[in-house]
Amino acid sequence: MKKFVSILMALVFSVIIGGAVSAATGLNPYAVIGGGSVLSALMPKMEGIAPMAIQKEIWITSLVENLFADNSFMSRAFNADEFVMDGKVVHIPNAGSPSNVEKNRSSLPATVKTRNDVDITFNLDEYTTDPIKIGNAEQAELSYNKRESLLMNDRMQLIKEVSEDFLYKWSTSSSSRIIRTTGASYTSHLTGTTGTRKKITKDELLSAMELFNAEDIAQEGRTAMLDAQMYSQLLASLTTSENADFNKQADLAKGVLGKYASFDIMMRSRATRYTAALAPKAWTSAAAATDQAGALLWHSGSVCRALGQTEAFEDEKKPLYYGDIYSFLVRAGGRIMRNDLKGVAAIVQANA
């Protein structure tokens, strides 16, 4: 009976709407009513359409924009995207040392010299998330936005892993470019470490500035990345007036908390980590009791970053999982640009 009433109501609706459309347009009323009846018959079937799948293009764009956003330290590097080959390898033609310049040359012909150019080549790493399942019952109950919210954590974790790996790849192991901390003794704050370390102070930033100045590294474009503990220690070493000047130069929209000794100061929960032998250590490696926290300092023209393939995968209505499967992939990489390592330094804790 209910079905008969629904059909009858649909027909009445079609006649009313069809008559109105016919009067307004001059079209044949029977044709208009007939077409409306067909659409009405289809309407119940459309009610059962499943929620929309994720918009992969939007996700990929959002992932890239957040990876190299203005407030991301990774945007403060030479962009080598155009040099990515096959989405996996970066090859940057690199000029060697500049030619000698002589004032008022008196001897001709000039001596022709050969310049040794060393191209920069490195592979992009592949970062992938573990597949996540959204069950069939959840699909029916969740809105499009709520389903995307469930996957947001995976995207943010992917960005976090790529970011920390970039800091590792930009770190130097050259003893001439590592400045040791000189502050007061305190208990090491890195997870898994033991013993005491010396705090970072403003003096280490001043030493880094002197190093960059001696190498004619441009003042504009210098960045220092500290972890949360070292950032607090640095602020504690500043005078009241220095703190005021530091805060005046903050640009929070770009992730800059302040400026000191020519460096834009940025902060993360953790920055870099070194072994007792002063070698950079990736965060994916197990912690050692003797590990030492480090701060990375660089000029934007002295390091590079590149983005290759980026994908959002979805596999809907998997019978073995009773739901949809989602995962994400990014190919990215970076390195120090200059073979002489100029424009890159590290401040590493000293044992107290």
Q: What tens digit of pLDDT does each residue of 301-335 get? A: 999 999 888 888 888 888 888 888 888 888 999 99
Q: Pairing relation of β-strands 292-299 and 344-348?
A: antiparallel
pLDDT tens-place string over residues 94-128: 655 667 788 888 888 888 776 666 778 889 999 99
Task: State which CATH number among 3.30.300, 2.60.40, 1.10.540, 3.90.1690 fits the domain covering 52-94+107-352.
Answer: 3.90.1690
- Residue 135: enclosing H or E segment and its boundaries? strand 132-135
- In angstroms, the CA 193 to CA 186 distance is 12
Identify the pLDDT of residue 18: 53
Q: Pairing relation of β-strands 344-348 and 178-180?
A: parallel
Identify the pLDDT of residue 43: 44
Q: Which residues contact 185 (CB under 8 A, 6 or more apart)?
A: 196, 197, 198, 199, 352
Angle at which helices 56-67 and 144-169 cross, to 10°: 40
Residue 297: burial class (beta carbons within 10 Å; 0-12, 13-18, 19+): buried
Angle at which helices 29-46 and 2-25 cross, to 10°: 140
User: Tokens at residue 267, please?
Assistant: 């902060």
Identify the pLDDT of residue 97: 62
Identify the pLDDT of residue 108: 85
Identify the pLDDT of residue 76: 94
- In angstroms, the CA 65 to CA 72 distance is 10
Identify the pLDDT of residue 105: 87
Question: In terms of residues, how long is the chain?
Answer: 352
Q: Are 295 and 231 in contact (CB under 8 A)?
A: no
Largest CA distance in the chain: 109
pTM reported for the whole predicted model: 0.76
Residue 152: burial class (beta carbons within 10 Å; 0-12, 13-18, 19+): exposed
> Which residues of the chain, if any, have pLDDT below 70?
1-59, 62, 94-98, 114-117, 136-150
Domain boundaries, the chain: 2-46, 52-94+107-352
